[in-house]
Amino acid sequence: MSPDHSSHVDAVTAQALIAANPDVLVVDVRTPGEFESAHIEGAINLPLEQVDDHLRRVVADAGGTVLLICQSGARATRAHKRLCEAGLPGAKVLAGGMNAWIAAGGPVVRGRPRWSLERQVRLTAGAIVLAALVADLWLPGLRLVAAAIGAGLVVSAVTDTCALGALLARLPYNRGRGTTAACPAPRANA
């Protein structure tokens, strides 16, 4: 079963859903570093690259509604597809992710500020392209590195995946203290 955009909810609807139902399982699929920077109270952190390892547990523990969150909505949409295929079609995706949640005034638990993975990808790709073009003045042919990065970005956009993002997610900066996925539990009413 493939997810569609009818499973997406805006930030105001998501806030109302959480407020009305203490059993909503909020699953944040960003990196632990992004999660520590700012997250919704009661959310569990299950980075996208670990979703497959915990699919059965999330499906079993869901009980009620699952709300998937990432920075902009793209990673949560991919996690939603995997959950649907595993037998949990009722999960919801926060459209626009944490960006939309914060813009709508949603409450967050703040920690040490860190750059989002998307921002890290833009910085890394841009720096490699710039360095390759400048270095090409002395070592002709390095502009091909810039072309390869450009091709990678096109493939990333077309396939809605990001190899550079997956690589950056493995860096210690993005690891944080680890995921909370080992013990998902329904959100308690505070």
**Is residue 110 domain-shared with residue 139, that is, in the same domain?**
no
Cβ-proximal residues to 178 (8 Å cutoff; 6+ apart), any chain: 32
pLDDT per residue as tens, the chain (190 positions): 444 567 899 999 999 999 998 788 899 999 998 899 999 999 999 998 888 888 777 777 766 788 999 998 889 999 999 888 888 878 899 999 999 999 999 999 998 888 888 888 899 999 999 999 999 999 999 999 999 999 999 988 888 788 888 888 888 877 766 555 544 443 333 3
**Is residue 29 domain-shared with residue 61, that is, in the same domain?**
yes
**Is residue 138 domain-shared with residue 121, that is, in the same domain?**
yes
Provide the CATH number for the domain around residue 80.
3.40.250.10
Give the pLDDT confidence score for residue 175 in this predicted structure. 73
Any domain includes 140:
yes
**Is residue 26 domain-shared with residue 83, that is, in the same domain?**
yes
Interval 71-117: pLDDT, tens? 988 899 999 998 888 888 788 999 999 999 999 999 999 988 888 88
**Is residue 98 domain-shared with residue 121, that is, in the same domain?**
no
Catalytic positions, written as ranges: 70
Give the pLDDT confidence score for residue 70 in this predicted structure. 93
| DSSP letter (8 states) at residue 187 | P
Question: Of the residues 114, 133, 151, which one is the last residue of a structural domain?
Answer: 114
Give the pLDDT confidence score for residue 129 in this predicted structure. 94
**Is residue 122 domain-shared with residue 97, that is, in the same domain?**
no
Cα separation, 106 vs 109, in Å, equals 10
Q: Which residues of 112-137 are buried (b: 16+ CB within 10 A; e: fewer)?
A: eebbbbbebbeeebeebbeebeeeee
Count of domains forming the chain: 2
**Is residue 137 domain-shared with residue 123, that is, in the same domain?**
yes
**Is residue 21 domain-shared with residue 95, that is, in the same domain?**
yes
Any domain includes 186:
no
What single letter denotes the amino acid at residue 47? P
**Is residue 97 domain-shared with residue 41, that is, in the same domain?**
yes
The answer to whether the pTM exceeds 0.85 is: no
Any domain includes 181:
no
**Is residue 104 domain-shared with residue 141, that is, in the same domain?**
no
**Is residue 44 domain-shared with residue 99, that is, in the same domain?**
yes
Range of the domain at 106: 5-114
